Structure 1
Amino acid sequence: MGVLKMQQLLLLFVLFSFSAAFEIIDLSTANGYTWNAALPNKSIQVSGTVPGSIYTDLEKEGIFTGGPLLFRFNDLDYRWVSYEDWDYHLTFDVPATVASYSAVDLVFYGVDTVADIQLNGSPLGVTNNMFVRYKYNVKDILKTDVPNELVVHFKSPVKYAQDRYDEQAVDYPVLPTCLDPAYQGECHANHIRKMQSSFSWDWGPAFPTVGLWHEVKIEAYNSVSIRDFWVGFERDETLQQWKVDMKIHCETPDSGVDHSGTFTVTITDGEQVIHTFVQETTLNGDVNREVTSPLFTFNVPFTQIEQWMPNGWGQQKLYDIKLEFKEGTETVALQDRIGFRTVELIEDDLTVGRSYYFRVNGEPVFLKGSNWIPSAVLPELITEEYLRELLTASKAAHMNAMRIWGGGIYEFTEFYRIADELGILIWHDMMYACSMYPANDPFLETVSTEIRQQIRRISRHPSVLIWAGNNENEAALRQNWYGTASNFETYKADYIKLYVDTIKTIVNEEDPSRPFTVSSPSNGKRSEEEGYISQNPGMEEYGDVHYYNYFGNMWNWETYLKPRMATEYGFQALPSVHAWTTAANPIGQDDDWHYDGRLLFTRQHHPGGNDELVLQVEGQLGKARDTTPEQQFLDMIYLTQMHQAEAIKIESEHYRRLQYLDFDGLGHCMGSLYWQLQDIWQGPSWASIEYGGHWKPLHYFATKFFAPLSFMLWIRDGNVAVYPHDYRNGADMVPGILFIKLQSWSQINPIVIERIPNVNGNSSLKWQKPLDSWLSDNGCSRQTCFLTATYEDPETGRLLAPDSYLYPSNFTAVTNLVKANVQVTGVGEVYQSESSWVIDVQLSTDYPAAFVWLDTITDRKGRFSDNGFLMPTATKTVSFLSPEPITNSIAFLEDLKVAHLAEIIR
């Protein structure tokens, strides 16, 4: 079931009727309602889809003649759509029973973005915020005897943003003036409350669409209705019980009228009732017919509850909760799931700076994960299935955290439910990114509604860890990214008015159970002490950092910062052949498959990005073969992906080691979230999962560098050493044997094998050698040999942790790399494991092979158990896991191909 359809179930207030307390009519296309979309002059008229938007409606009707939205240059060729106004129209009937209710509301759960709405010729209102739910009282306008006419007139978001910028610029401009031309985007997204990346970003296209991206419903009711609730938890260790605080957000059919009734809160685990709380109260709706219940508090003994913990730290136990309000003979209810857990952000004074880490249920948790952008350029293309696929892939890579980045959307409810189930902690930005923003009264008014509604909707989910006011705007202002220095105090005043006086205040009112940070990166408390604009946002000694460097030696850990937490870092790579095939013309038809071709140039939105990729690849791996332009493009796909994976592996392992290391007060790192998890289209990006769901090498590498237990080889002060690392300080450690092997690139057997038995404990040195002399003593040098580390069960030989390796030199300096004969020698029989069909693949080689990459010639769904790996042994077996049946193992064998570094570089 798609997310948008799922929302129809989730956003009915999740109400259930006893005594016909209400009636809801969902006007979505899926329920048989016929919407139409058109230009105001009717020169283009198509069937409309709700939820949906104009781009997908025009595509379905065949208005676009240049192919799919994401094919070749269609992001540019179809841009005309965003410069037009569009009308959505619906003729519909309602039953006579609707008129009998005390309140009849027309509710728009998501309008993208600026629109005038009319019902039966009567103006209902104007919308200007994609993230706000709009409710209109239509009791006296709605007709039950004849059809109703609903018209939503959308204004061009691009022209609207330009108009708002121009109006503001009369006083002073709210910057930036526009995006870098490399973005191929539109200007002034910061002047419209819309998905900011819909005007383009450095990893995605501009599709500034319009439409009704969530449901439109008629909601009729007599008594109080329950919209949302907030729940907070505290652990009382003395009394051995959970203190549960709760507020219930309601809507009333009238304002200024008392509604006396009884709230009943029931928490269950399957059929077992864990706790029931009953409270009589009186509710009185405000002018907007909204009211929040008094704070309810009750206690639940520890013995009755299994706490919710993030992935890798315990179970993700969820309990059903049912809220009911009974007034007279009418009862309304809301149902959801909750998890018992507490979160704290710890910023203790240290000898240098302050700590910065999170405790969940009192236990320090190292955040390991990635950054989340919108999963599609148009929200209606996002499905529940794809959200689950992406988050399940995150859990498969041992992630326990994900940062929802501030230039996208507040995610669909199903996203948070899946994160709850999988134990993925959410660092949640508000949707403000990489810009200055207006702080005039109309803008702050819509922001206030946006933040209040979204916090109320999302905050009950145990996966949500922290709220952040914005992405990088503190740094942008202080570091003068957009030319704000000449009017710094004015922009600072706007910054404080928006993020501190408005957003921070509302978030703390609505959700006192979680920490709030004004920006990311920031120096945490220090930024607050410096007036919320620190002199140097993102210091290593405080808070969190974002770090990017495309010009240094990024395979050397000493290049990187030593922060308390790294919430953004990464490197680009090209998309795979499978992804690029869906965006480009066939090979040989034009220059779509040339590295210097127009298509790659226009898809590379990061200024200078293609040159940086060449610089990094040629500095670490070597130059691609001197062949045809098409083959060099294919080689660069491989090389950029392997460089990305290895560089982020080295940086991530560095942050992991820093959890227990101190460099003159720096270190004590407690989180690494690389940029970024998924792609929004087929182009160069920082993602580990490309558009469509295929894993890049980086995601395979993440399954190892984020693994619960790891043995990392590294060089420090001329010594090569190996440290075991268990995020939970030894809790997951299983005693085993550590093997360190020294091996030449020119022979398949190790030169030296060192065996360290009875390894246990955590983060203490297990093995160390002076690198150069040890290599020399064994006939090696940094340019001829490499090291591996494996941790094995002493009885079975089974690996107890991912294998580790160390390349003492970059590959441009290696002198004896042999073009190994790596082959797929066979496949096993297909068998089923859980929800996958699995087939084993056997490989062989005559020499060590670096960055061995398995792929299928056809675009199959699924992934390998390991990929992009070093193959230091003569044979290796990996598995292919497919969500679809594999019916012919011979055909699968013939569909396989394998590549490795020595055959790609000159």
Structure 2
Amino acid sequence: MLWFVLVLAACSAVHGSMHELSMDSDGGNVQWVVENQNGSISVPGRVPGGVYSDLRRAGVLPDLLWQDNDVATRWVSYDNFTYSTSFQLRAEHLATRAANLVLLGVDTVAFVELNGRPVGAADNMFVRYVFDVKPYLKEGLNTLRVSFASAVLAAARRSARHYAAPACVPAVYRGECHANQLRKMQASFAWDWGPAAPGQGLWKSAFIEFYNSAVIRSVTTHITKEDKQWRLRVKVYLEMAGREETGELGARLALGAQGAVTVAKQVTLVARGDGTADAEIDMIVSENVVSLWWPNGYGAQPLYDLSVTFTSNSSQETSARSIHVGFRTVEVVEQDIAEVLGNTTQSTGLTFYLKVNGYPLFMKGSNWIPAHILPELGGDEDTVDSLLQAAVEAHMNMVRVWGGGVYERERFYRRCDQLGLLVWQDLMFACSMYPTDKEFLDTVRVEVEQNVLSLQHHPSLALWGGNNENEVALRGSWYTHPSEFDKYKAEYIKLYVDTIKPIVHSLDPGRRYVVSSPSNGLESEREGYIAANPYSPNYGDTHYYNYLADGWSFDIYPLTRFASEYGFQSLPSLTTLKTATNKSEDLSLDSEFMAHRQHSPNGYSFIESEMNRHLQLFKNDSKYFEKFIFYSQISQAMSIKTETEFYRQSQATWYTMGALYWQLNDVWQAPSWSGIEYGGKWKMLHYFAKSFFAPVLVSPRLHLTGKVDVYLLNDRLVPLLGGQLLVEVFNWTSLTPVDSKTYTVSAKPLSAQKQDITLDLWKQNKKEVFLRFSLKAEGVAESPMNYVFPVPLKDVVGLQKPTIQITVSHRIRLHSGETQHIVHIVTDRAVLFLWLEAPAPGRFRDNGFMLTQPYLRTAFLTAGNITTSELQKAITYQYYLNEIS
């Protein structure tokens, strides 16, 4: 009976007479068994899956993220595990010319056997493996075994033969060594924001395919605008069952109410030595029948279904592939900066910005790390959807997929297409030198080719990055001795320039490939790919971290053309930490648990020093730990707010055109640079991002001299004319301004404009007052208020304990299925960083409020079932107040 059910499942994906037999565990049709090397462990396995997940599900392992289990379970990474299953085949399966075992994701070093005979090996988790298994299949029962080797030990063996610096991650990471020797998620060996868990398993789908002619593997689209029409060049990549095949190649672009564009032609496919072939077909699409695809904040994201088929003339077998395409132009512009700024003292160097549909757009966003430290869990659709939706709600238009993680699954990029999030896609190399032996380069070539072909068609994909921080690491001797520079430079060029660059350029000639990030872009290339100063403010992109200076000060940040990484740490909430421990003694800054969770050297001292510059917290406070968490999130949010607004303001004077802070998300419950905690809870940073990334924002800059410049940031495609800017001076003791002045302001489209305003409002002691900025302008539905605090908050005079009343009036059912509860907040005094909490699953629409008015209304969004009265009773809050020791 099992055989019958399995065969029915096998026939679910049929094109003509082509069959796919799924080897995935969904539905229970295929049963996998996982065993360790000595046979002491034998448990059910899953595909897609991984050994950590399977052992946890079977009760062999505790929760990896509980207390110090990341280290306590590390033995798993040193053992070797085998995944095996059996399946039935009928005679008609064996009658096809080709039968391939396709493994979409093998993590990482593995040996594959079918019916006791070797069929192939794997050494790269980013590669799709296709093994010809026709000689090994038989009618009736077949057995498949995938035997994995410990990645930790395999990496060590390779390092002994092909050493590349560094040998190990820093000791404070509590990780494993030689990650750079394997084409495996680099962060799985530990990072400064995450634990080590170098696992094994089939982390993506597996299946056996049976066909007689050819199967489509990938489709790329090359879209160019020619006068009033789009030319869509479709290139199809196939694997052949024989040496030559003729047939019809067809493509259909569905245009909704506008009908469809359909083209077809006869082609003759001739297989190369590796059994692959490709063919092209062109389509011409009038600009009148499609709409432009825009990044978030600038327009809609229309996507069109493109179906491609190949039908064999001899067998009449059809292979098909459907993708979505968007019509837009994206280019990275590196031109003489004088052409933008004019002949000024700033006019040395090149621009570095993205032009989309002919418009220079400022990139606002964050850096994406894997959604889970275990790659088999990192594709959870709800988690990915929630994180990307949160990015959109914070007005982001770009995410950078960082090079120490994974090439994300198809759904990630499809959601970016739908949401308007441009993707800066790193290739998976980060913070290391890498070997360049033939074996390594051969697997890299396959990896880059497959992943470029897989991702190329997505309209959200903006540019390729060759690696993360390896140019600056080599120039700065982070991991190497200066005497080794020439050796490692030659290997760097051999890998990223001689090997990878030609592949990217040949498969995706329309997109920029930046060899490294940070980098001087074209200038780095002119200097032999390792610039004398890869951090030059005059070229390319920069990463900037400084925990020794005052992060709330605009005057500490260096200029840049594009800020692709910057950030500050904070702790996750107490609620999130309690999902990792139930010991009260762990919830202390000097506990072994908290030391274990902090992977950044001197991390807590840097957080504390940043906090102490502006906030007052005494170590003898009975709630010291809880307040340390809260204040760390305040300090992080304010520092990144300041730095981000500095970059947005610098569009006016330096043509800075991007701000992607580090980092969007987390992989465990620990101190990190994230704006969203593991589990999805927003930190104060992410709420602040909704304001500091707002399309229209009044952004004041307080200088050390006390001077205040005022910028009007306008990220819209239309000008802002005749706006009314209200500047108010408040005394900390009252909600009524003591002084105010209104200015008429304006800004060109897509600009940051410094306003011709001289603020002379310091008529009182600066310790007693603060400034509030608000804007009203035609066509601007909302522009966040902004503030200037002239002295550190710990030094202000008059900030007193408020009386706060919070009520919940009613709830509304939203189209999303969530319930929105209306929340009313009343205060009698100014309140700094009012933070609301509710035990129900959900979040407040806004949080971390600066209450400078008597009444504020917000909302609580939840998918749970809670009444208004229950919510009102459950809401708790905290805020910042200077305490007396």
TM-score (norm 1): 0.92
Q: Which secondary structure state, in structure 1, belongs to the residue aligned with residue 725 of structure 2?
A: strand
- CA distance in 1 between counterparts of 2:494 and 2:452 reads 19
- Superposed CA offset, 1:599-640 (max 9, x none): 111110011101101111111212246223xx2111111000
Which of residues 409, 412, 426 is equivalent to 1:429?
426
Q: 1:345 aligns with which of 332, 338, 357?
A: 332
Aligned AA (2:843): R
| Alpha-carbon separation, structure 2, partners of 1:794 and 1:166 | 67
Q: Which residue of 1 aligns with 2:4?
A: none
Q: Does 1:203 align with 2:193?
A: yes
Larger mean CA deviation between 367-376 and 121-130 belongs to 121-130
Equivalence for 2:165: 175
Q: Give yes or no for the alignment of 1:571 onto 2:540.
A: no
Aligned counterpart, 1:8: none
State the distance in 1 between where 2:215 and 2:102 align: 14
Answer whether contact 1:720 1:768 (CA < 8 A) is retained.
no
Answer yes or no: is 1:143 the counterpart of 2:122: no
C-alpha distance 514-758 of structure 1, shift in aligned 2 (>3 A): closer
Q: 1:714 corresponds to which residue?
A: 701
- Within 5 A, what are the aligned runs for 1:123-142? 123-142=118-137
Aligned partners of 1:759 and 1:659: how far apart in 2? 16
- Structure 1 residue 290: deviation in Å? 1.1
Structure 2 residue corresponding to 1:889, chosen from 859, 868, 875? 868
Contact 2:13 2:19 in 1 (8 A): no
Q: Unpaired segments of 5 or more residues in structure 2?
A: 1-9, 338-346
Residue in 1 that maps onto 2:284:
299
- Pick which of 804-813 and 106-115 moved more: 804-813
Tell me how large the CA RMSD over aligned residues is: 1.9
The residue type equivalent to 1:362 in the other structure is: G
Work out whether 1:193 is the aligned partner of 2:172. Answer: no
Structure 2: how far apart are the matches of 1:705 and 1:832? 29
Task: Map 1:593-612; keep pairs closer than 5 Å.
Answer: 593-612=587-606
Separation (CA, whole Å) in 2 of partners of 1:896 and 1:112: 45
The residue that corresponds to 1:216 in the other structure is: 206
> Which residue matches 2:729?
742
Q: CA deviation at 1:244?
A: 1.8
Alpha-carbon contact 1:737-1:794 (below 8 Å) kept: no
1:371 aligns with 2:400: no
Structure-1 separation of matches of 2:22 and 2:460: 29
Verify the 8 A CA contact 2:349 2:539 in the aligned structure 1.
yes
Change in Cα spacing, 1:381 to 1:18, as seen in structure 2 (3 Å) is closer
SS at match of 1:647: helix
Residues 34, 82 of structure 2: 8 Å contact kept = yes
Q: 2:546 is paired with a residue of what secondary structure? A: coil
Number of aligned residues = 859
The aligned runs of 1:275-286 (5 Å cut-off) are 275-286=261-272
Aligned to 2:342: none
Query: Residues 875-898 of structure 1, C-alpha deviation per residue, up to 9 Å, x if partnerless?
Result: 211111113343x11111111011
CA deviation map 1:165-190 (0-9, x unaligned): 1122xxxx310021111101001100
**SS of residue in 2 equivalent to 1:533:** coil
Match of 1:653, as an amino acid?
E
Secondary structure in structure 1 of the residue aligned to 2:318:
strand
Aligned with 1:324 (options 290, 302, 309) = 309
- Aligned equivalent of 2:841, options 837, 853, 861: 861
Alignment-derived partner of residue 104 in structure 1: 99
Do the aligned partners of 1:625 and 1:635 also contact (CA within 8 Å) in 2? no
1:311 aligned partner, one-letter code: N
Task: Supply the distance in 2 between the matched residues of 1:903 and 1:868 (Cα, whole angstroms).
Answer: 17
Counterpart position of 2:815: 834
Deviations 1:64-105 (A, max 9, x none): 2xx421100000100010011111111221222210111000
Which one of 768, 771, 788 corresponds to residue 806 of structure 1? Answer: 788
Report the AA paired with residue 660 of structure 1.
Answer: A
Counterpart contact for 1:820–1:849, Cα < 8 Å: yes
Contact 2:333/2:353 (8 A) holds in 1:
yes
Give the 3-state SS of the residue equivalent to 1:838 in structure 2. strand
What residue in structure 2 maps to residue 261 of structure 1? 247
- Amino acid across the alignment from 2:452: I
Q: Distance between the aligned counterparts of 1:189 and 1:758, measured in 2?
A: 54
By how many angstroms is 1:753 displaced?
2.2
- The aligned counterpart of 1:849 is 831
Residue identity opposite 1:769 in structure 2 = T
| Letter of the 2:845 counterpart | S
Asked if 2 retains the 8 angstrom alpha-carbon contact of 1:822 and 1:898, the reply is no
Say if 1:820 and 1:902, in contact at 8 Å, map to a contact too: no
1:345 CA displacement: 1.0
Q: In the alignment, residue 313 of structure 1 is paired with which amino acid?
A: Y
Question: Counterparts of 1:22-171 in structure 2 under 5 Å?
Answer: 22-31=18-27, 32-64=29-61, 67-145=62-140, 147-168=141-162
Gaps of 5+ in 1: 1-11, 662-666
Q: CA shift at 1:749, angstroms?
A: 1.4
The percentage of aligned residue pairs carrying the same residue is 39
* Equivalent residue for 2:765, pick from 767, 781, 801: 781
Distance 2:77 2:85 in 1: 22
Pick which of 677-686 and 307-316 moved more. Answer: 307-316
SS in 1 for 2:823: strand
| Corresponding residue SS for 1:63 | coil
- Is 1:768 matched with 2:762? no
Amino acid at match of 1:332: S
> How many Å apart are 1:746 and its aligned residue?
1.9
Q: Decide whether the 8 Å contact of 1:843 with 1:876 is kept in 2.
A: yes
AA at the equivalent of 1:669 = T
The answer to whether the Cα contact below 8 Å between 2:616 and 2:882 also exists between their aligned partners in 1 is no
- Given that residues 192 and 599 in structure 2 are in contact (C-alpha distance below 8 angstroms), is that contact kept between their aligned partners in structure 1? yes
1:363-384 CA distance string (max 9 Å, x none): 1111100000000011222311
Native 8 Å contact 1:624 1:636 kept in 2 = no
Number of the residue aligned with 1:680: 667
1:905, 1:701 → 2: CA distance? Answer: 28
What SS does structure 2 have at the residue aligned with 1:616? Answer: helix
1:638 to 618, 630, 638: 630
